[in-house]
Every structure is written in structure tokens, then in C-alpha cells.
């Protein structure tokens, strides 16, 4: 049973990697940032869900922290 689950996990991730490749996330000319790395990783983890409409995106903006009052 564990072998079947492992095989399904590998197939899931390969499908996700194929989706990331089709979206052009593995190009040499692309600048690596938090957002681009996160988008690529999330696309791979989403696997086959990419082909049914999922388009995962990561927002790496740092929220503004309020200043303490004086």
C-alpha cells in the first residue's frame, strides 16, 4: 500500500512540474525572487489541479508594521 501511495505522490509532483514548465517557470532568463520561487513551488505541489483551473500565486509583500506610539 505504501508503494502505491509513493507512486501516486511521484506522479502528482511530475504532473505539477510539467505544468510549471509549460508556464515557463524554469527559464534561465527569469529573475529568482520570493514570488517567482513560491509560484513555481506551489504550482508543482498543486499537481493536476493546475489542469482544472488552479493558478496558484504567492504574494511575498511584507505588510506594513505599525509604529509604536510615543
- 57 is a domain residue: no
Whole-structure pTM value: 0.74
- Tell whether the model's pLDDT for residue 63 goes beyond 70: yes
d(CA 57, CA 35) in angstroms, rounded, equals 8
What cell numbers appear for 31 in the block? 529573475
- 61 is a domain residue: no
pLDDT digits (tens, 9 = 90+) for 3-31: 999 999 999 999 999 999 998 888 777 67
What would the mean pLDDT of 53-70 be, rounded to a whole number? 79
d(CA 40, CA 27) in angstroms, rounded, equals 11
> Residue 66's pLDDT is what?
78
d(CA 70, CA 57) in angstroms, rounded, equals 38
> Residue 9's pLDDT is what?
94
Range of the domain at 43: 10-52
Give the number of domains in the chain: 1
* Average pLDDT, rounded, for the chain: 85
Amino acid at each position: 500500500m505504501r508503494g502505491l501511495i509513493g507512486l501516486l505522490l511521484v506522479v502528482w509532483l511530475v504532473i505539477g512540474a510539467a505544468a510549471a514548465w509549460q508556464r515557463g517557470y524554469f527559464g534561465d532568463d527569469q529573475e529568482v525572487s520570493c514570488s517567482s520561487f513560491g509560484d513555481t513551488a506551489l504550482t508543482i505541489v498543486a499537481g493536476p489541479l493546475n489542469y482544472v483551473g488552479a493558478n496558484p500565486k504567492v504574494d511575498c509583500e511584507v505588510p506594513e508594521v505599525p509604529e509604536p506610539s510615543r
